[in-house]
């Protein structure tokens, strides 16, 4: 079931800041272990935090026509 959520302006500001900072240079250590996070990984990590806070599955978020602070996602 999808539900509409509204994040705070502070949460949106964090997403904007993550985007501005971009991803880390990703290097691979011996054994193929990555060191550093891509921009996508950082954004996904933050959506995981929001999902726990608001009770939705993080990778299901979609924009809402109501505006930048609103989104829909599948409820846990």
- Give the chain as a DSSP string: -EEEEE--HHHHHHHHHHHHH-PPPPEE-TTS-EES--HHHHHHHHHHHHHHHHTB-GGG-EE-TT-TTEEEEEB-
- Residue 22 above 80 pLDDT? yes
Q: Are 3 and 56 in contact (CB under 8 A)?
A: yes
Query: Which pTM value belongs to this model?
Result: 0.81
Given this model, what pLDDT does residue 24 score?
Answer: 76
Given this model, what pLDDT does residue 36 score?
Answer: 75
Given this model, what pLDDT does residue 37 score?
Answer: 83
- Residue 47 above 90 pLDDT? yes
Q: Which of 47, 54, 53, 56 is nearest to 74 (CA)?
A: 56
């Amino acid at each position: 079931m999808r539900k509409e959520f509204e994040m705070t302006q502070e949460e949106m500001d964090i997403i904007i800041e993550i985007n501005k900072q971009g991803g880390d240079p990703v290097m691979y250590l011996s054994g193929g272990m990555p060191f550093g996070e891509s921009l996508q990984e950082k954004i996904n990590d933050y959506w995981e935090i929001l999902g726990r806070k608001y009770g939705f599955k993080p990778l299901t978020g979609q924009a809402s026509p109501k505006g930048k602070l609103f989104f829909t996602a599948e409820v846990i």
